Amino acid sequence: MTDHKLPGHPHFAYRGNDLFAEDLMVSELASLHGTPLFVYSKAAMLSALAAYQRGFAGRDVQICYAMKANSSLGVLQVFAGAGCGFDIVSGGELERVLAAGGQANKIIFSGVGKTRAEMRQALAAGIGCFNVESEAELDVLSGVAAAMNLRAPVSIRVNPNVDPKTHPYISTGLKGNKFGVAHEDALRIYQHAAALPGLQVAGIDCHIGSQITETTPYLDAMDRVLDLVASIESAGIELEHIDFGGGLGINYNGDTPPEADVLWRQLLAKLDARGYGSKKLMIEPGRSLVGNAGICLTEVLYLKPGEQKNFCIIDAAMNDLPRPAMYQAFHAIVPAVAGGPAPATTYDVVGPVCESGDWIGRDRPLAVNAGDVLAVLSAGAYCMSMASNYNTRGRAAEVLVDGSQAHLIRRREDAQDQMRHEQLVAE
C-alpha cells in the first residue's frame, strides 16, 4: 500500500484511509488514550535535528533546543539523548532539563526577567552561559555570582533592529521589542560587563524572532552582529562564541521556510567570508525541531448548522491549542480516517470553552460526523507548553511514537490534579 504523506509532515501519512504516526494508526491511539491527545513522532524530531547537524558538519557548534516550544519531559529526553544542549528561560525549565537527563554545562539561560533566586539556582547547577538582556541584569548577576565566590559566564543579547517579517507577537529583534540591548549601546555595555567582578564574558547573542520563513533577515542580522564582534574584540574583549539564536519557521499553511541545512550553508559562507569561521557557534532552534513532529487528536462532539456559520464542535479547545486564539494562527485539520460517508461541509472548528475566541480553524471543508476523530497538524510547538486549565479543563495526555511503539509521556490531568495545591479557608 502506498503511503500518502502529509505536506511538511513526512512521518505522518495515510495508508489507505487511515492516518498513521510512523507505524501506528492514530485512530487506535485515540481509542486507547482518549482525546484530546497529543501525538509526537520521535523520528520527525530527530530528522529535523539532522538537518541542522548536516549544515554544521565539521564545525564547532552547540545546538541548544529552545525548550519553551515544548517542555514535556519525554520530548526533552529525545534531544538530551541526541546530545543537544538546551535554551531555558526559567528556573522551572532548568529543573525540567536536569530531570530529563540534560547536561547543565550545555544549558543557556535566556530571558529578560531572571530573578536572583533563578540566578543562584543556575550558578549552583553550573550552567554553560547566561544570555543577559539588560545592563541592570549584568549588575545583579555579578553581585549574585560574587556572593557565591563564582564568576558567571555571560553572553549579551544584542538587538540588531532587523525585521524578521513574522507576527508582531513573536518578533524579538526590533527596537520596539523588550529583548536585548540596543546595537549602538552594545560595545559600552560589553566594556561594563568585562569590568564587573562576578562576570566572565563568553560570547555574544542575537535572536530576531520566531516562525521566520525568509533567509534575508538572518543574513542581515549576522552582518550586524559580526560588525559588533569586530568592535568588541578590537576593544580587547575576546568572545569565545557567537550565538545566532533560533526562530526558523515551519510549514503551517503552505509556508516555505528554507531547510535548516540550506540556511546554515549560506550563513556559514558569510561567517567564513567575514573571517569568523573558526569561532564556536551556538544556536537555539525550537519550533523547527518539534512543530511538525506533533499532532493533536480530537473528537467531534457536535455538528451545529447555523444561518451564517456551520460549527464543528470538538473536545479540544483554546486551552489545549492556544495559537489560533492568541495569534490567529493556522493549523491544518484532517480526519484520522478519511473517506467517510458524510458530505463535505464548510465549518468553523471550535472548542467547548466559553469564549468566542475558542476556535481552532475557520472555514474548513470537512466531511465529518459526530464521533469522528480529527487531527490538528503542526501541534508540536507552543501548544502543550502554553496549555492551561481554563474552565477547569485538564491538560491533555501526550504520547511519543517510536516506530511501532507508543509511550505515554504525560497522563491526562483530572480535577484533583488541578486542585491539589488549593485549600478552603478554615471557618
Distances (CA, A) of 257 to 52, 211, 248, 414: 14, 9, 7, 39
Residue 358 dihedral angles phi and psi, to the nearest 5°: -85, 75
Give the H/E segment covering residue 75: helix 73-81
Q: What count of Cα atoms within 13 Å lies in the side-chain half-sphere of residue 355? A: 15
Find out whether 160 and 173 touch, Cβ atoms under 8 Å. yes
Instruction: Scan for cell 500500500, then name that residue.
Output: 1
Q: Confirm if 241 and 188 have CB atoms less than 8 A apart.
A: no
Please provide the DSSP assignment of 293-355 as one string. GEEEEEEEEEEE--SS--EEEES--TTTS-HHHHH-----EEESB-S-SSPPEEEEEE-SSSS
Grid coordinates given for 219: 543574513
User: Three-state SS for 193?
Assistant: helix
Cell numbers that stand for 298 in this block: 480530537
Q: Which of 84, 206, 296, 354 is catalytic?
A: 354
Q: How far apart are CA 297 and CA 23, in angstroms?
A: 16
Q: Is 15 helix (H, G, I), strand (E, B) or coil?
A: strand
Judge contact between 123 and 104, C-beta under 8 A. Answer: no
Q: How far apart are CA 198 and CA 355, in angstroms?
A: 49
Any idea what DSSP says for residue 207?
Answer: -
Strand spans (E) along 67-161: 85-88, 107-109, 129-132, 152-159
Q: Is 383 a catalytic residue?
A: no
83 vs 158: CA distance, rounded Å:
27
Cα angle value 218/167/270 (rounded, 5°): 0
Q: Exposure pattern of 370-385 as b/e (b: 16+ CB <10 Å)?
A: eebbbbbbbbbbbbbb
Provide DSSP, 29-59: HHHHH-SSEEEEEHHHHHHHHHHHHHHTTTS
Positions annotated as catalytic residues are 354
